[in-house]
Amino acid sequence: MSLRILKIAIGTELDVVGARQRAREIAVLCGFAMQDQVRIATSVSELARNVFNYAHGGKVEFSIEDADGVQALQIRIDDQGPGIADLDLVLSGRYQSSTGMGLGILGARRLMDRCDISTARASGTRIVLQKRFSSDAPRMTARMVGDMCAHLNAQAPDSMLGEVQQQNQELLGTLDELKARQEELLQLTRELEENNRAVKVLYAELDEKADHLRRADQMKSRFLSNMSHEFRTPLSSIRALAKLLLARADGELSGEQEKQVSYILQGTVAMNEMVDDLLDLAKIEAGKVDVRAERFLVADMFSTLRGLLRPLLHSPNLALTFQEPEAELALHSDQGKLSQILRNFISNAIKYTERGDITVRAALLPEQGMMHFSVSDTGLGIAESDQALIFEEFSQIENRLQTRVKGTGLGLPLCRNLAGLLGGSVGVDSVPGAGSVFWVSIPLTYTAEGGNAAVPPYSY
């Protein structure tokens, strides 16, 4: 639905001033706020001036439009001029004109809710502007528009001087508003500067504390790595003396004495394993672990591990199987550190598997230049949410075998660090109740940078 309000012809410069004046009066009668009144009047003034300057005549028509229940003040500006040849360039804001052409159109597009432009060479231009009424504004009816038209017809336009005075008042109001906004911005800037100073102080304190923590961690790592002999020597002595007592080197033991000495030996062995893992981690952190890379056969390493670990099987219902690799499958890396990783994987599998199979495999990944080792079991399994946690220091997952199985939570973190030293990585795939597969992948050829030299495994 369209309700026509007023039509103004643009033929002289006075008509441009009159169009601005009428646009402001209509905006006031429609109930627009002061800022919107200025936006509407300015947009009409700029486009009416273009009509006068470039088309030498045209018209401005005001109406109320209703689309889908939303009312808007619509202003249509028509001319029969030469059209706008570079409209797309003008709308992009990149058009350069010595007369300022295009600035009025860009300004109107920013100030109004809608600005549609249609133009053709030698056929003129039509611009349709809209400013929507606020949601709480009363709906304009035909009677209200009729009363508005009667009021406008009865009220003669002010002189140009009056319109200039009105513009000056609007400019002064705008300047006052800008000054208030500027003062608000200055206040916000001062507050932000104070906050920035406080944040800088906090960052400086955090940096200082972080530096203290780094130094403390480095001192801890250096202390532990340097104390390896002092830690291990008394433990070795206690273990050796306990073995001598159990071997009856100083005479027979009563049953109770033998049981107590066995407890001492078991505790010493457990303590020794924990100290070994802790010191190995500390040495890695302190950068005091050297990688001794040499060529070795995977089959030989498996044979050694088989002899070391089969005696640890605690149940006749549990089998440890090494899947035989190809006879010539070889690596150039640190066999001792790789064996230590696999020993940890296998010993954990033995601890947490009551029955079934533990299988150790090696697989060549020639495209990646890597060797993949895996230890699969049929044990308790690990929930997905806990799989990342087990590779963190001193982290253990509660399970029903905890009363029987003792551990420190250092073995798997040590495996992760050792694999990193060799240029590889570790991981686990597991389903609770269905077992786990712990794996490690390392380069076929170790390089000092931890990279992977793509050398075929059979060319050593």
Q: What is the CATH number of the domain that holds 53?
A: 3.30.565.10
Phi and psi of 294, rounded to 5°? -155, 165
Q: Are residues 307 and 238 in the same domain?
A: no
Q: Are residues 18 and 128 in the same domain?
A: yes
Q: Is the pLDDT of residue 380 over 60?
A: yes
Is residue 408 a contact partner of residue 274, using CB atoms and an 8 Å limit?
yes
Query: Which of 420, 392, 419 has its CA nearest to residue 408?
Result: 392
- Number of domains comprising the chain: 3
Handedness of CA 384, 387, 389, 390 (dihedral sign): positive
What pLDDT, on the 0 to 100 scale, is given for residue 455? 39
What pLDDT, on the 0 to 100 scale, is given for residue 224? 63
Question: Which long-range CB contacts under 8 A does 111-115 form with residues at least 24 apart?
Answer: 111/39, 111/40, 111/42, 111/43, 112/39, 112/40, 112/43, 113/72, 114/72
Q: What is the mean pLDDT of residues 53-73?
A: 89
Q: Are residues 55 and 136 in the same domain?
A: yes
Q: Is the pLDDT of residue 186 over 80?
A: yes
Tell me the C-alpha distance between 19 and 6, whole Å: 10
Is residue 77 a contact partner of residue 8, using CB atoms and an 8 Å limit?
no
Q: Are residues 334 and 434 in the same domain?
A: yes
For residue 406, being part of any structural domain is answered with yes
Which band of pLDDT confidence, cut at 50, 70 and 90, is reported for residue 451? Answer: very low
Q: What is the mean pLDDT of residues 30-37?
A: 88
Q: Is the pLDDT of residue 435 over 70?
A: yes
Q: Is the pLDDT of residue 163 over 70?
A: no
Q: Is the pLDDT of residue 62 over 90?
A: yes
Q: Is the pLDDT of residue 399 over 70?
A: no
Tens of pLDDT, residues 247-256: 887 778 888 8
Tell me the C-alpha distance between 438 and 39, whole Å: 71
Q: Are residues 93 and 120 in the same domain?
A: yes
Q: Which two tokens stand for residue 335?
A: 């066999």
Q: Mean pLDDT lowest for which of 147-151, 182-186, 288-292, 327-331?
A: 288-292
What pLDDT, on the 0 to 100 scale, is given for residue 98? 64
Domain end: 238, 254, 285, which one? 285
Is residue 23 a contact partner of residue 5, using CB atoms and an 8 Å limit?
no
Q: Is the pLDDT of residue 218 over 50?
A: yes
Q: What is the pTM of this model?
A: 0.46
What pLDDT, on the 0 to 100 scale, is given for residue 228? 60
Which band of pLDDT confidence, cut at 50, 70 and 90, is reported for residue 158? Answer: low
Residues 6+ apart with CB under 8 A from 295: 330, 331, 332, 460
Going by their DSSP bridges, the two strands 356-365 and 318-322 should be labelled as parallel
Tens of pLDDT, residues 405-416: 555 567 788 888
Q: Are residues 426 and 332 in the same domain?
A: yes
Tell me the C-alpha distance between 11 and 287, whole Å: 88
* b/e per residue 241-267 (b: at least 16 CB within 10 A): bbeebeeeeeeeeeeeeeeebeeebee
What pLDDT, on the 0 to 100 scale, is given for residue 138? 86
Which band of pLDDT confidence, cut at 50, 70 and 90, is reported for residue 77? Answer: very high
For residue 217, being part of any structural domain is answered with no
Cα–Cα–Cα angle for 227, 228, 229, nearest 5°?
A: 95
Residue of higher predicted confidence among 437 and 394: 437
For residue 319, being part of any structural domain is answered with yes
For residue 349, being part of any structural domain is answered with yes
Tens of pLDDT, residues 127-137: 999 999 988 88
Give CA separation, 293 vs 290, 342, 454, in Å.
Answer: 9, 17, 16
For residue 193, being part of any structural domain is answered with no
For residue 452, being part of any structural domain is answered with no
Which band of pLDDT confidence, cut at 50, 70 and 90, is reported for residue 285? Answer: low
Q: Is the pLDDT of residue 102 over 80?
A: no
Domain end: 157, 177, 212, which one? 157
What pLDDT, on the 0 to 100 scale, is given for residue 251? 79
Q: Are residues 152 and 46 in the same domain?
A: yes
Residues 6+ apart with CB under 8 A from 4: 61, 62, 63, 145
Tell me the C-alpha distance between 72 and 129, whole Å: 10
Phi and psi of 450, rounded to 5°? 80, 10
Burial class of residue 204 in the structure, from the number of CB atoms within 10 Å of its CB (0-12 exposed, 13-18 middle, 19+ buried): exposed
Tens of pLDDT, residues 307-336: 888 877 877 888 899 998 888 899 999 998
Q: Are residues 253 and 141 in the same domain?
A: no
Q: Are residues 413 and 314 in the same domain?
A: yes
Q: Beta partners for 416? A: none
Q: Are residues 26 and 93 in the same domain?
A: yes
Query: Which of 13, 55, 60 has its CA nearest to residue 41?
Result: 60
Q: Is the pLDDT of residue 381 over 70?
A: yes
What pLDDT, on the 0 to 100 scale, is given for residue 104? 78
The total of other beta-carbon atoms located within 10 Å of residue 429's CB is: 14
Tell me the C-alpha distance between 82 and 153, whole Å: 32
Q: Is the pLDDT of residue 140 over 60?
A: yes
Residue of higher predicted confidence among 95 and 367: 367
Q: Which domain holds residue 410?
A: 294-443
The number of C-alpha atoms within 13 Å of 175 and in the hemisphere containing its C-beta is 6
Question: pLDDT exceeding 90 applies to what percent of the chain?
Answer: 22
Q: What is the mean pLDDT of residues 91-101?
A: 70
Q: Are residues 308 and 402 in the same domain?
A: yes
For residue 36, being part of any structural domain is answered with yes
Q: Which two tokens stand for residue 223?
A: 């202390």
Question: Which long-range CB contacts under 8 A does 408-413 form with residues at least 24 apart?
Answer: 408/273, 408/274, 408/277, 408/278, 410/274, 410/277, 410/278, 410/281, 411/277, 411/344, 411/347, 411/348, 412/344, 412/348, 413/281
Q: What is the mean pLDDT of residues 167-182?
A: 71
What pLDDT, on the 0 to 100 scale, is given for residue 259? 83
Residue of higher predicted confidence among 25 and 226: 25
Q: Is the pLDDT of residue 453 over 50?
A: no
Q: Are residues 310 and 279 in the same domain?
A: no
Which band of pLDDT confidence, cut at 50, 70 and 90, is reported for residue 457? Answer: very low
For residue 72, being part of any structural domain is answered with yes
Q: What is the mean pLDDT of residues 418-439?
A: 90
Q: Is the pLDDT of residue 452 over 50?
A: no
